């Protein structure tokens, strides 16, 4: 990768198709960050004749424009790399699916943690009167002492570990 250098903003051409992707809230957030800590990641441009064409960093470029900057840090990439990045960016459904799966995983983990916390609190609560369970009764049959089926995968794994089973 080449070394970042400073480019005049007015010399950078943004393809019309890319301009549709601008999200004002992201631009505002990046502009705020740039005011605090400066530009951390350079944009990517490619040369096309005597002009520079934006490959990556649309929101950073727009944030610099909004801040009144005249130059921006960037790197010149090879046309082959620019084409590869273009193909990757044309598959937003893949990125959307990845984000959706990450959100679902996070929600599942949070729900399982809440359920585990609830079970811990329930077992720690003192009982009003002692009850005699199957463990305390030596005459109880083993089939009556069977546990209820687990509700989640983590419950099942815990049950398997406690009973010495393999999972």
DSSP annotation of 15? -
User: Is the CB of residue 56 less than 8 Å from the CB of residue 42?
Assistant: no
Tell whether pTM > 0.75. no
pLDDT at 144 over 60: no
Average pLDDT of the chain?
78
User: Is the CB of residue 42 less than 8 Å from the CB of residue 74?
Assistant: yes
Closest CA to 55 of 38, 34, 78, 26: 78
Instruction: Name, of 1-5, 34-38, 91-95, 160-164, the range with top average pLDDT.
Output: 34-38
- The predicted-structure confidence for 51-72, as pLDDT tens digits, reads as follows 899 988 999 999 999 999 999 9
Position 108 scores a pLDDT of: 85
The DSSP secondary structure of 90-151, one letter per residue, reads: T-HHHHHHHHHHHHHHHHHHHHHHHHHHHHHHHHHSPPSS----TTT-TTS-TTTTPPPPPS
């Amino acid at each position: 990768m080449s070394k970042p250098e400073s480019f005049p903003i007015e010399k950078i051409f943004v393809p019309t198709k890319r301009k549709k992707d601008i999200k004002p809230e992201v631009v505002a957030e990046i502009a705020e960050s740039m005011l605090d800590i400066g530009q951390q990641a350079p944009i990517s441009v490619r040369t096309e004749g005597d002009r520079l064409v934006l490959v990556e960093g649309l929101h950073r470029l727009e944030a610099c424009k909004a801040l009144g900057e005249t130059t921006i840090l960037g790197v010149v990439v090879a046309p082959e790399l620019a084409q590869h990045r273009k193909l990757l960016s044309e598959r937003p459904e893949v990125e959307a699916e990845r984000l959706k799966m990450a959100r679902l995983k996070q929600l599942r983990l949070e729900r399982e943690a809440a359920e585990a916390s609830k079970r811990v609190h329930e077992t720690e609560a003192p009982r009003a009167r002692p009850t005699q369970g199957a463990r305390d009764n030596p005459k109880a049959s083993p089939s009556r002492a069977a546990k209820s089926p687990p509700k989640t995968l983590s419950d099942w794994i815990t049950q398997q570990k406690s009973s010495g089973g393999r999972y």
